[in-house]
Amino acid sequence: AQSVSQHNHHVILSEAASLELGCNYSYGGTVNLFWYVQYPGQHLQLLLKYFSGDPLVKGIKGFEAEFIKSKFSFNLRKPSVQWSDTAEYFCAVNPGEDMRFGAGTRLTVKP
Amino acid sequence: KAGVTQTPRYLIKTRGQQVTLSCSPISGHRSVSWYQQTPGQGLQFLFEYFSETQRNKGNFPGRFSGRQFSNSRSEMNVSTLELGDSALYLCASNLQSGLTEAFFGQGTRLTVV
């Protein structure tokens, strides 16, 4: 079945560590790609999105993601995490007329 | 401008009952999508409405239904509630169908006892 896979369910890092969260999808053809973040007690917010063009996209709060078409991947990165990045991160793919989400990765940043 | 508003925020229902959740999209947005969020499952797509018509439907039983009104407000109904329906139900609005970018509400936390 077509799907969006996030490999890490829970990631624990210390402040200033580098972050990479994996996301793979199995849809063929043209897709739009997104990363959303859900801070504790808050609604889902868009971190960044890729529609076309430069496969390295930059989002808010120092996050970036790289689209690698050959690997069907859209991994999220941040060079140096902060305690305030503690949240749940969702990768999403829009292969057509609806959006499919991964199961989410919970990130805990220790001060 | 106001964001996506979902009411109520919290709800407790008994097995077998039915429930109606409401979503008011961002002004000017005509597409509303509904998702079920549970721990470990992420967000599961329920359905999308655009201009009062259901455009897409996820893989949920017929107990889950929805509708959209002419002012783009949407309601989601779940009949014959089961314990497994306990979840956070999220609504997302978009200018157009096709979901180039979705704006989410804070959700309705439904607990079935």
Q: Do A90 and B43 touch (CB under 8 A)?
A: yes
Neighbour count for residue A99 (Cβ, 10 Å) = 26
Query: Which residues have C-beta within 8 Å of that of residue B41, sequence separation ≥ 6?
Result: A103
Q: What pLDDT, on the 0 to 100 scale, is given for residue A5?
A: 94
pLDDT of residue A1: 62
Cβ(A106)–Cβ(A10) below 8 Å: yes
- Whole-number pLDDT of residue B91: 95
Nearest to A97 among B4, B55, B105 (CB): B55
| Contact yes or no for A102 and B42 at CB 8 A | yes
**What pLDDT is stored for residue B42 in this prediction?**
84
A39 in Cβ contact with A87 (< 8 Å): yes
The answer to whether the CB of A48 falls within 8 A of the CB of A63 is yes
pLDDT at residue A31 in the model:
87
Q: How do beta strands A105-110 and A10-14 pair?
A: parallel
Per-residue pLDDT reduced to its tens digit, A11-29: 999 999 999 999 999 988 8
Q: What is the mean pLDDT of chain A?
A: 92
Residues of B with CB under 8 A from a CB of A: 3-4, 33, 35, 40-45, 48, 55-56, 58, 90, 92, 97-107
Give the DSSP letter of residue A15.
Answer: T
Sign of the alpha-carbon dihedral angle for B21, B43, A38, B104: negative
Which residue ranges of chain B lie beneath pLDDT 50? none
A86 touches chain B (CB under 8 A): no
Supply the pLDDT for residue B23. 98
- pLDDT score of B99: 56
As a whole number, the mean pLDDT across chain B is 92
Chain B positions touching A6 (Cβ under 8 A) are 42
Tokens of B13: 């229902």
Mean pLDDT, chain A cut into blocks of 10 residues (111 residues total): 86 97 91 93 91 93 95 97 96 82 94 90
Contact at CB, A43 and B104, closer than 8 angstroms:
yes
